[in-house]
Chain A
Amino acid sequence: MIQGILTASAAILSLSILLTLFRVAKGPSMPDRVLALDMMGINLISLTAVVSLIQDTTAYLEVALLLGILAFIGTVAFSKFIEKGVVIERRRD
């Protein structure tokens, strides 16, 4: 029963990754793509969690946390890039 639900949710999450990928590919604007990428990151976190439940292991919890941080940093960096044209600003002098 539990296994079935887990499998189903993993499948649904994978499907949603596929759909967000469509958004990444299609665009049409850069923010669309960045948002889609961010969403894909969160979906990946969920998928990692579900997979670790299916495989009955705690080894992937770090992966989930790391994905969270990276998705956040990545999105912020992209946003700043789109906004200002640079990611890391030089020291003002």
Chain B
Amino acid sequence: MFTALHLAIIAPFLAAVFVPLLYKKIPSIHTGWFVLIVPAILFVYFLQYIPTTSEEGAVSAVFPWIPSLGIHFRAYVDGLGLLFTLLITGIGALVVLYSIYYLSKKRESLHTFYTFLLMFMGAMLGVVLSDNMIVLYLFWEVTSVSSFLLISYWYEREKSLYGALKSMLITVLGGFSMLVGFVLLYSITGTFSIQETIAATSETASHNLFLPAMLAILLGAFTKSAQFPFHIWLPDAMEAPTPVSAYLHSATMVKAGIYLIARLTPVFAVSGEWLWIVAGFGITTLFWGSFSAVRQTDLKGILAYSTVSQLGMIISMLGVGAAALHFDGANGNNVFIGATTAALFHLFNHATFKGSLFMMVGIVDHETGTRDIRNLGGLMTIMPITFTIAAIGSFSMAGLPPFNGFLSKELFFTSMVNITEFQQFNMDTIGMVFPAVAWIASVFTFIYSMIVVFKTFTGPLQKEKLDTKPHEAPFGMLLAPIVLVSLVIVIGFFPNVLSYTIIAPAMASILSPLLEQGQQFEVDIYFWHGFGTPLKMTIGVVIAGILLYLGMKKWKGVYRLFPEKLSFNNLYDQTLDKGEVLSQKIMGAHMNGFIRNYLVYIFAFIAAFLLITMFYKGAFTIDVSDTAPITIYESILFLVLFAAVGVMMFTTSRLTMIIGLGVAGYTVAMFFVIFRAPDLALTQLIIETVSVALFLLCFYHLPQIAKNLEPIRFKAVNFIISAAVGITVTLIGISAGSSRMFESISGFFKDYSYKEAGGRNMVNVILVDFRGFDTMLEILVLGIAAAGIFTMIRLRLAGRDEL
């Protein structure tokens, strides 16, 4: 049944249809104002689900789409889905508001922008609210496509197209892999429903296809969420307009992979591989992203790598949180649950501060004309509000109190320290790397956060390097980031507003096997949580970060140790380039335009295929019991035929060849006579005469130089292949003749051709009576041939001289 929930999911698509109309009909009002209504209403609508999911669990509604294939559009709202839904609609509304002031009504084609954006929003809602994997995959691909369209929004720029292509190739690669994973899961469980798959976990884990399905789905999640080494598309996607970067590439689309991992944790987390792969890739990405962010000079580049790094952090926490499933129950002893809490909490926090930072960068770009930190500086007094936003966002990102980033970073350290006590899958030994890497990555995070604030807003103002005279942004543009940073502060001081409304229900979806009926996770996020290891680690991060930031000039040379050639971007570029060259080479090597080569492939394949098949099936038989005796005439005719063919093969004159062909044809006619087929003999004689005449006609029109041949050179390959084809066909003919399985049906024609059809000439009766249909079509063939010849001769569009 199609419910209001379904309508809410596809509402953005429906709205997208009207966007161009509004843009054309009401040009006086910025189209964004109309678009703003959609996410705002949806946000309010989905807020109503909070009590439902926190108290009663999930809500679902089924709309049968392709019932015969088990594909239903099942909208499923639980804690996890709702968390993402609120992010999508809430930040969606803020981004639309921001874009109204960011995108000029006069210069930009707003209708395409808002159509793509609404498409994306609807697709994202579909991804997080679909219970059916195929429907999820459908929406997943729509997010890839709409992201492609949004990145290439300024399609006249080379770099936009490059970035769009790159993100498309990488995310679609992952999307296909994910589809494979879903199909594998389907073949294990027989259902496309995620909830039913979760219910069937016990039988899934022991299945052979479990690991391939897990790897395929993880590849999809990692490419979408820009995990190492698939993170390379995200920095290039920064060519998109800033609202797009803020929305897609920090808050929503890149979290689709996180959503997928979180959603399927109950299915896969029972295996140790999941824990190691998810946590391992996450922590690697965390380090690599934060390390790479420091070397960037473009503000959006820094934020892109920072996003990569933070996504890695969330994913590593989700991986570590999977350890909780190896313990029973949701009681206080199960410390690994905390990692999942931290993941969800940071997921929410990251969306708030990263969204505001992107919008801040957009404002700086908009008001100064550059995003390069080497040209920026001293904007603090000119743009005080923007500076405040940047400071709050960055300090939160760096994990400083009293902002929400501090809380999630503390929870992160806690979970990383706890995992070393995990007794399974070698975690207690090799697991030590997790807190160590996490700490180093946090230092780098601190450094680039400081770069974002201090390189942009402090120091000398370099007026000559700026395109425009800098000034504070209009209030409308500042409104959306102000809302986000307010959230950063509010959640920083009152983190528990989220605990039972959003985070606990979301945890219940991720760690569902741990919960008894009616039980709830305890989520308590305290600002002051005791002077433990995590706090010491944070203090260490701040001290080391400040020292490294101040002495950055001294150690920046470290980045030159990694040459550009060894980067993953270079690998991607080379793969594309070399792949193209290689495929051209392969195609050029065998598709070289010579028909003789293609004939060699065809005949070699025929001979090899038939010989191998016949040989393996043991089908070669020679049975002479049913053969007729050979008469003297047949032997002589055979000699004639043999001689004629021989003449044709070895002559050096084309005319002799034609005559030889004629002789062969007449000899075949004589064979028809001997084998008592008068009709065939008659036809064969006439046809042979006509075709010899036609050959002579062709011969006459040959250029003089081609009329006589060189002596035909012996080519071993050709000889082998022609001999092989001849032998194959002969052997198959003999074998077929020797193994007759059924009586022929010709007895029927003999008995009935006069009785039923009134003709004594059996051949003709068959041709026009018993099987007249074939004859009709062969007449058609002749007609087409005649028409074709006539057309070819008469129709000379190109003109004769040009040929």
Contact = CB atoms under 8 A, between A and B. Distances in A.
A25 B655 contact: no
Nearest to A59: B678
A70 B685 contact: yes
B480 to A, nearest CB: 86
B682 interface: yes
Contact of B676 (A55, A66, A67, A81): A55
A55 to B, nearest CB: 7
Contacts of B789: none
A63 B636 contact: no
Interface string B638-667: 011001100100010001100110110010
B619 interface: no
Contacts of A55: 676
A51 to B, nearest CB: 6
A62 interface: yes
Given A44-B670, A63-B678, A86 B700 contact: yes
Contact of B696 (A18, A51, A62, A81): A81
A65 to B, nearest CB: 10
Interface in A1-60: 7, 10-11, 14-15, 17-18, 21, 24-25, 27, 30, 33, 37, 40-41, 44, 47-48, 51-52, 55, 57, 59-60
Contacts of A87: 693, 696-697
B632 interface: yes
Contacts of A51: 633, 673-674
Contacts of A48: 670, 673
Given A66-B686, A67-B685, A14 B673 contact: no
B700 A85 contact: yes
B659 A60 contact: no
Interface in B664-709: 666, 669-670, 673-674, 676, 678, 681-682, 685-686, 689, 692-693, 696-697, 700
Contacts of A10: 632-633
A7 B632 contact: yes
Given A25-B643, A73-B689, A81-B696, A66 B682 contact: yes
Given A17-B640, A60-B678, A30 B655 contact: yes
Contacts of A73: 689
Interface of A: 7, 10-11, 14-15, 17-18, 21, 24-25, 27, 30, 33, 37, 40-41, 44, 47-48, 51-52, 55, 57, 59-60, 62-63, 66-67, 70, 73-74, 77, 81, 85-87
Contacts of A30: 655
Contacts of B651: 25
A40 B636 contact: no
Contacts of B198: none
Contacts of B689: 70, 73-74
A63 B700 contact: no
A30 to B, nearest CB: 7
Interface of B: 632-633, 636-637, 639-640, 643-644, 647, 651, 655-656, 659-660, 662-663, 666, 669-670, 673-674, 676, 678, 681-682, 685-686, 689, 692-693, 696-697, 700
A14 B678 contact: no
A63 B662 CA distance: 17
B632 A63 contact: no
A51 B643 CA distance: 22
A72 to B, nearest CB: 11
Contact of A25 (B639, B647, B669, B700): B647
Given A18-B636, A44-B670, A63-B685, 9 more contacts: A7-B632, A11-B633, A14-B633, A14-B640, A18-B643, A25-B651, A60-B681, A63-B678, A85-B700
A44 B666 contact: yes
B666 to A, nearest CB: 6
A18 B682 contact: no
A46 to B, nearest CB: 12
B674 to A, nearest CB: 6
Contacts of B660: 24-25
A27 to B, nearest CB: 8
Contacts of A21: 640, 643-644, 663
Contacts of B676: 55, 57, 59
Nearest to B653: A27
Nearest to B646: A25
B602 to A, nearest CB: 31
Contacts of A24: 647, 659-660, 663
A51 B639 CA distance: 18
A37 B633 contact: no
Nearest to A63: B681
Contacts of B678: 59-60, 62-63
Contacts of A62: 678, 682
Contacts of A77: 693
Contacts of B669: 44, 63
Nearest to A51: B673
A14 B637 CA distance: 7
B694 to A, nearest CB: 11
Contacts of A15: 636
A44 B697 CA distance: 25
